[in-house]
Structure 1
Amino acid sequence: MDIGKKIRALRLGNNLTQEELANRLELTKGYISQIENNLTSPSMQTLFSILEVLGTDVHEFFSIEEEQTVVYKKEDFYEKENDNLKHMISWIVPNALKYEMEPIIIDLEPGGQSVIDDPHAGEEFGYILEGQVTLVLNKKRYIVRKGETFYYPANKEHYLINHSHQNAKVLWISTPPMF
């Protein structure tokens, strides 16, 4: 572990100059520079003081964080086609069930529809990327066109239908994950 580099990153994350950090600790700017460049090692007491000023502690500082994936590529997606309902669903965030939201992209062929979703807790949001769809929400129908969005509490039966003659593509997000 590069202690100096980690201290520098914390200092910069707190918008402090070396001089400002040194002044808060009654140390010299040169000594802070030496620590950050791994030219010297601080005493345990000095390290504890530095970490306190930087808003962390020894346990957090030395913990090895597992790198969290934040960017997903096309090859990470999981796709499932439903020939009967004429749609394909792409789960665009792997393992979304462990998160608060579950985003999918659903491609609906002309005459296609999503699975009829029974009422459940949560909310749903959609953005029409291509074409147009009919949102059926508790028997009421809403036409939603490219560039438009929908948003509703999911406590009523709901699904999408593509009544048009062209494909439709929808970014659909459910919270909690339901797809």
Structure 2
Amino acid sequence: MPPPRSSDVLLEARSVTAMVMPNPPHIPVIVLELEDGREFTLYNVPFEIVQALNRLEENSAPMQERRETVFDVLADLRSLIEELGRHLEQVVIDEIDYSTFLYTAKASFNLGGLYMIRRMVPSHAIFLARLFKKPIYVSKRLVDEQEMYERSSSEEGGEEDEDVEP
């Protein structure tokens, strides 16, 4: 099912990469590669989500030396919760709270003609979408805003670096 109509353009995520940024500070992130070739990054996601998403992609069992998370259990019991997956239609990341700088995702469920939308933590909604192979969309407006913020931050950082004497 296509994303719901709204005044906002939604971009479909073609791939999801969960990782800990290799350069300090080592921040857990989820990078969504979008249909228009751009990327949308969620920073400071729970490390457990990074592990769980990577485990889903690799189709591997959890490491025995660590405690399992609810995400490990959900992945292992996927066949028992297939009903949830049948009702989940899509995930849309389309909100940001400018006072906290936290994004919100909406998971859309079709309950036999009755539609339910749940506002969720984006990383958790992405996990559900990947678990059940459902589409993920991101608001173009949020992608544009993130790019503008990152561009202005790098320009400000670049100016400071030029003032530093060797």
Q: What is the TM-score of this pair, normalised by structure 2?
A: 0.21
Larger radius of gyration: 1
In terms of fraction of residues, the more helix-rich structure is 2
